[in-house]
Amino acid sequence: MFFLIERSKTGARSLCAALLFLLLPACLLAAPVAASPTGSVVDKMEPPHWWVGLGDGTLQLLLHGPGLAEWQPSLSDEAVRAGIQLQRVQRTGNPNYLFLDLAIAADAEPGRYTIRLQRGSGRRAERAELPYEFRARSGWQPQGLDPSDLMYLLMPDRFANGDPENDVVEGMQQTGLDRSDLYQRHGGDLAGMTKHLDYLADLGVTAVWPNPVLTNDQPEHSYHGYAVTDHYRIDPRFGSHADYLAFTAACRERGIKVVMDLIHNHVGNRHWWYQDLPSANWVHQWDSFTRTTYRAPTLLDPHASAYDRKVFGQGWFDTHMPDLNQDDPLLTRYLIQQTLWWIEEAGTDALRMDTWAYSDPDFLLAWSKAVAEAYPTLFVFGETWVHGGLVQGYFHGDTRLDKDFQPDITALTDFQAYYAITESATRDPGWTEGVNRLYYTMAKDYVYPHPERNVVFLDNHDLSRWAAVVKDNPLKIRMGLDWLMTVRGIPMLYYGTELALSAESDHHSGTVRQDFPGGWEGDSLNAFTAAGRQAMGALTAEIYAYTRALARWRAKTPVLHHGVMTQFVPVDGLYAYARHDGESAVLVLINGSDEVRRTEPERYAEVTDGFAVGVHPVTGTSLNLSQPIPLVPRSSMVLELR
């Protein structure tokens, strides 16, 4: 009546309009509201879709929009009949969020269903409808990784520019390109990566690990991918969502496995939900900026102070990287679902988990359990940039250490092995120094029931390039490659290492993230071609040919995939180890001294007995195993025993 009285004051025409209003069906009296996630009621809905049968049969939907907490959600009758139930609605201190807990029956019918929202009641109620899709699973199961693989790490922005149209995306906070500045964007993208997959396959690569490809809409340093601002969106400067799916499909066509790089420890401070946090509890809050100590031993140190443990785990990685509080159950569920979503959506074979040691241990237990249950064949390796074999081993679940922290993770990045091979090539032998560090490091493999699963490497996007470490010495470059391709573990090759690209790093230095020569139209040198590699110089051509030959030999040499590793105590700076299985054997010698060393094959009789010669897999050089084997200073030798 109030509405009618107010309208009647304007005269007869208004009175007729008011009477007509009262006669309208109640369903038409509700204020029309946009019915899509991009409308005025809901501007974000995550995950964007889901699959029947994925996970534990439940789904937590995050909805965001202005004043959304005032709305009451429900599911359409069709959704309920299909086997989908709304179990619970959760609200936080932020009025712009709703979290919907759904139960999905195992036999639920895939389809597109409606989420209803209503604010108010009666004739003045506002209503909105949101479509949401539940898909049928494809049956995808990850291939995982194993020691027969050779993984290739590349930085999308610096590998190849296949689509100049996405070089500048209007509306993003960093739009320009400047290839002369190592901290600006250079324009590499998914199309460029896809274009050069044949180069990787020919090199002998069986798995590709790109640095993160999710949106990093940050005003500075947005090229590297480690400050995510949207967990469900491919960075448009790399291409579209369809481009990423095309990349993963093209990898599968060539027999190349796909590794996705995820970060759950922190986000970029321009992340859409950091700008409007569901609750203050989603990030670790400090009175003033507090950086992590980067001291991982505080988690296992029986003498560590509570304050130091807190700062390590809750301090921010950097001023623009808020540290996530994974104790929050809503955030825990959000990150678990985001992981499952990308595995299913893109056909992911393995995950590389950034800053594994910095995430909350209880979260890692819950996350790894959920992921392993959903995808038993998935390979997960965590970044453990720490010092000390026992410290590194702490962050693995499958170890012989007596500890409560036992995450379901397949492997770790083996930084201890990296430190050891680096020291072997750069320091004189001592009781524990030089090549002797390799010996002591491998001796600590007793910590791992399966050390052969750990990821070994010579360099990566945070470290000085191997060629620079060894001062561009070709013998030492080959020493590293010989070790990488024969030691226990899964080898990872950083893009450009096969070209002897050389650059020093002082921690996260852009110099080690240079452009791959030939990845941009108009480049004066093109390392994707033999002629281009020749033009880059004799060292590049030599190291590329050696890397390719060694990688392809490794691929067809099963003893390097499953053979036992036996190492021998170094003598006078000469270190030796073998891979053998009772039928085949490979002997590797490393001379870490400045003197010519001769070693007697009988020293290794437990491996060499029954074999007459050792043949170098690349040069074809054949050595009689009844004669001393000479090694020039600071060099290595690989011998396939026959």
Q: For the segment 231-274, what is each residue's pLDDT rounded down to a tens digit?
A: 999 999 999 999 999 999 999 999 999 999 999 999 999 999 99
Q: What is the mean pLDDT of the chain?
A: 93
Q: Is residue 282 part of a domain?
A: no
Q: What is the pLDDT of residues 446-496, one digit of tens each?
A: 999 999 999 999 999 999 999 999 999 999 999 999 999 999 999 999 999
Q: Is residue 361 part of a domain?
A: yes
Residue 40 banded pLDDT, cuts 50, 70, 90: confident
Q: Is residue 301 part of a domain?
A: no
> Is residue 308 scored above 80 in pLDDT?
yes
- pLDDT at position 81 is 97
As beta bridge partners, residue 587 has 578, 639
Q: Is residue 252 part of a domain?
A: yes
- pLDDT at position 508 is 67
Residue 391 banded pLDDT, cuts 50, 70, 90: very high
354 given a catalytic annotation: yes
C-alpha–C-alpha distance, residues 307 and 105, integer Å = 46
C-alpha–C-alpha distance, residues 218 and 358, integer Å = 22
Domain boundary among 110, 136, 162: 136
> Is residue 410 scored above 50 in pLDDT?
yes
Query: In this structure, are 18 and 40 located in the same domain?
Result: no
Give the whole-number percent of the chain exceeding pLDDT 70: 94
Domain boundary among 508, 527, 556: 556
Give the whole-number percent of the chain exceeding pLDDT 90: 91
> Is residue 8 scored above 60 in pLDDT?
no
| Active-site entry in 189, 235, 354, 498 | 354
- Give the alpha-carbon dihedral of 365, 329, 288, 384, to 10 degrees: 20
Specify the amino acid at residue 573.
G
Query: In this structure, are 98 and 7 located in the same domain?
Result: no
Q: What is the pLDDT of residues 127-180, one digit of tens each?
A: 999 999 999 999 989 999 999 999 999 999 999 999 999 999 999 999 889 999
- Strand-by-strand arrangement of the 97-104 sheet: 44-46, 58-64, 97-104, 84-90
Q: Find the CATH number of the domain harbouring 605.
A: 2.60.40.1180
> Is residue 570 scored above 90 in pLDDT?
yes
C-alpha–C-alpha distance, residues 333 and 312, integer Å = 23
Q: Is residue 308 part of a domain?
A: no
Query: In this structure, are 244 and 271 located in the same domain?
Result: yes
Query: In this structure, are 535 and 475 located in the same domain?
Result: yes
Query: In this structure, are 387 and 534 located in the same domain?
Result: yes
Stretch 537-553: mean pLDDT, rounded?
98
Q: Find the CATH number of the domain harbouring 444.
A: 3.20.20.80
The whole domain housing 9 covers 1-27
Query: In this structure, are 353 and 464 located in the same domain?
Result: yes
> Is residue 38 scored above 70 in pLDDT?
no
> Is residue 61 scored above 80 in pLDDT?
yes
- pLDDT at position 10 is 38
3-class secondary structure per residue, 414-463: CHHHHHHHHHHHHCCCCCCCCHHHHHHHHHHHHHCCCHHHCEEECCCCCC
- pLDDT at position 9 is 33
Query: In this structure, are 37 and 22 located in the same domain?
Result: no
Q: What is the pLDDT of residues 168-184, one digit of tens each?
A: 999 999 988 999 999 99
Question: What's the number of domains the chain is made of?
Answer: 4
Q: Is residue 144 part of a domain?
A: no
Contact 162, 128 (CB under 8 A): no
Radius of gyration of the chain (CA): 29
Query: In this structure, are 592 and 615 located in the same domain?
Result: yes
Tokens standing for 544? 């590329």
Q: Is residue 636 part of a domain?
A: yes
Q: What is the pTM of this model?
A: 0.93
Query: In this structure, are 444 and 538 located in the same domain?
Result: yes
Q: Find the CATH number of the domain harbouring 73.
A: 2.60.40.10
> Is residue 23 scored above 60 in pLDDT?
no
Q: Is residue 319 part of a domain?
A: no
Query: In this structure, are 537 and 602 located in the same domain?
Result: no
| Active-site entry in 344, 383, 423, 459 | 383
Contact 500, 536 (CB under 8 A): no
C-alpha–C-alpha distance, residues 3 and 23, integer Å = 14
